[in-house]
Amino acid sequence: MPQLRAEQKAFFEQHGYLIVNGLFRQEELDEIKEEYRKLWLEMVASGEIVQDPARPVESLFPRLSNHHRVSDVAFRYMLDERTCGIVKQLIEEEPLVIQTVYYFKAPGGRGLPLHQDNYDIGVVPGTTYTAWVSLEQSDEENGGLFLVPGSHKFDLAVPVPIESDEYTFPHTIPIPDGYQTITLETEPGDVVFFTGNCYHGSHRNQSRHRFRQAFVTHYAGSSVERITLNHNMLINSKGKRVRRRLNPTPKAVATQGDITTWRKIYFPEKGKIN
Q: Which pLDDT tens digit goes with each residue over 231-248?
A: 889 999 999 999 999 988
Give the whole-angstrom CA distance, residue 261 versus residue 46. 12
The confidence score (pLDDT) of residue 254 equals 59
Give the whole-angstrom CA distance, residue 210 versus residue 203. 13
Q: Give pLDDT tens digits for 160-173.
A: 999 888 999 899 99
pLDDT tier at 266 (50, 70, 90 boundaries)?
very low
Q: Give pLDDT tens digits for 63-82.
A: 999 999 999 999 999 999 99
CATH architecture of 6-273: Sandwich (2.60)
pLDDT at 253 exceeding the cut of 70? no
pLDDT at 53 exceeding the cut of 90? yes
The confidence score (pLDDT) of residue 56 equals 95
Q: Give pLDDT tens digits for 191-206.
A: 999 999 999 999 999 9
Give the whole-angstrom CA distance, residue 220 versus residue 149. 21
Q: Which of 75-79, 182-186, 222-226, 261-265 has the lowest mean pLDDT?
A: 261-265
Give the whole-angstrom CA distance, residue 65 versus residue 36. 11
pLDDT at 213 exceeding the cut of 60? yes
**CA 242, 244, 250 angle in degrees (round to 5)?**
135
pLDDT at 113 exceeding the cut of 60? yes
pLDDT tier at 133 (50, 70, 90 boundaries)?
very high
The confidence score (pLDDT) of residue 251 equals 74
Q: Give pLDDT tens digits for 24-42.
A: 999 999 999 999 999 999 9
Q: Which of 12, 51, 17 is nearest to 147 (CA)?
A: 17
Q: What is the mean pLDDT of the chain?
A: 92
Q: Classify burial at 130, counting beta carbons within 10 Å of its beta carbon; exposed 0-12, middle 13-18, buried 19 or more.
A: buried
Give the whole-angstrom CA distance, residue 254 versus residue 262. 16
- Specify the amino acid at residue 78: M
What one-character-per-residue DSSP string does 146-175 give? EE-TTGGGS-PPPPEE---TTBSSSEE-PP
Measured over all CA atoms, what is the biggest interatomic distance in the chain, rounded to whole angstroms?
Answer: 52
Q: Residue ranges of the domains in the chain?
A: 6-273
